[in-house]
Amino acid sequence: MTFLDWLPTIMIFLPVLGSLLLLVVPKTFRDEVAGLIAALTLGAGLAIWRGGGSELFRWDWIPPLGITYSVQLSGVSLALALVTAFMSFIAILYAARRIPNPGPMLSLILAMETGLIGIFAAQDLLLFYVFFEDALIPALLMLAMYGKAGRMKALVKFAAYTLFGSLLMLVSIIGVRYLGGSPTFAMVDLKANLVEGPAQTWLYLGFLAAMAVKLPLWPLHAWLPDFHEQNHDSGVPDVMGTLYKVGGYGLFTFGIPLFPDASLELRPILMGLAAFTALYAAWIAFRQTDWKRLLAYAGLSHMGFVALGVFSLNETAVIGAMYLLAFQNLYTGALFLSVGMVQERIGSLETRVGGVMTQAGALSGLTMALWFASIAVPGLAGFIGEFSILLGAYQVSPWLTFIAGITTIAAAAYALTAFQTTFWQARPLGAVGVRDLVHTEWLVLGLPLAVLILFGVYSAPALNLMQPAVRAVLSALGGN
């Protein structure tokens, strides 16, 4: 065992240890300690990347039940873990400045970071389920403790959808092992003992239900707009909620290898559902006048694109889907924080306040650049993901890809319309003044944008990291 083999475990559990440490650290030092823990976690991820990824670490956790502690960070899982660590650091940076007495929020961010990185590192199906559920608890607590007046209704809806999907996933997980005859829940053993026949399709549908909630996909998306609208105005919980959209990753890492025949059988239907989700969400986003609801539907539309790429089972499209899944976390999360900054200054999340750019040019300019990433302008990371998805999916289903492609036009329409009515038009007479970016706010918006530009112009490092993992997963299909 080398130190590199231990780094995934360190990266997983360091945040939750930091979360517990914040409970006993004096309030004076909580911000610094939380920031240090988040930075060290990101550093661990960068060290794994520099080392070329980690090898599989396996320990028989509960032998009588066949549950192992199997973790590995490489390829797509490493890319998503790095994005999670980076955006968690950004969220902590902003929460420490924006939220009064931020200790509990900082602790919940770190606790949720452990669950999210664990999801990406898990190579045991039941361990994946444990981390999947662990990440839910801090998300619910953030909403319950810091949400708005309607938070309990949103909380119940969010919990109900998630737990419904989780129950079906648990049944599928148990079925995959026992019907396939695998000795453990480890992916290595499960892939060597696949379930065959109609049972595979039924088990896939159960697993798909949970992942569709966490993509999300229509019609299992109804929790999403209320979840974002009722969360804290700062946008910090929304950043973590965006990172929790792990359904696309779950389908890629577990769905395709364990249910290859069902994935091929249901491909046309699922691609159609994904294309409809992308277009439907973009249309609804155009009608929103609340920034958080608009961003919620914009994120849903992007997840429709991710699903289209994954369900197509085409190498180019799947690589694009994972690329988009990773980098949409940056621009969507940063946009939520940008909206939080606007709300702090003018006291409203309405998209029709007008004239912010006349007084806050830097805030407006960075927000516009982030929107350009969101609508896939070339030169920014979002373009590479969306273009790759369309290019690959077209080879499988031209008409469904055309339907999804209309979304790119709709996205420009809703994004630029909302931006115009908030930032460009004249400020109403007697309206409060709007100050520009100060202190750490430059880093909170500038750092994600810098990464989006870097990987929009020079995508090779990320693509080289993801491509071998995608090819290995698709090999279960015997071709595209």
Q: Assess whether the previous peptide bond of 237 is cis (omega < 30° from 0).
A: no
> Residue 266 pLDDT > 60, yes or no?
yes
Across the range 250-255, mean pLDDT stands at 92
pLDDT per residue as tens digits for the range 174-217 = 999 989 888 999 999 998 888 888 999 999 999 999 889 888 88
The H-or-E segment that residue 151 falls in is helix 151-180
- C-alpha 367/C-alpha 385 separation (Å) is 20
> Residue 2 pLDDT > 80, yes or no?
no
- C-alpha 233/C-alpha 258 separation (Å) is 40
Ranking 96-110, 145-159, 354-368, 397-411 by mean pLDDT, the lowest is 354-368
> Residue 350 pLDDT > 80, yes or no?
no
- C-alpha 72/C-alpha 7 separation (Å) is 10
pLDDT per residue as tens digits for the range 286-333 = 888 888 899 999 989 989 999 999 999 999 999 999 999 999 999 999
Give the total residue count for the chain: 480
Q: How many domains does the chain have?
A: 1
Reported confidence tier of residue 249, pLDDT bands at 50, 70, 90? very high
> What rounded mean pLDDT belongs to the chain?
88
N- to C-terminal Cα distance for the chain? 36
> Residue 480 pLDDT > 50, yes or no?
no
The predicted model scores a pTM of 0.92
> Domain span at residue 128?
3-476
Q: Which residue has the higher pLDDT, 209 or 427?
A: 209
Residue 350: strand pairing partners = 290
> What per-residue confidence (pLDDT) applies to 1?
62
Reported confidence tier of residue 56, pLDDT bands at 50, 70, 90? confident
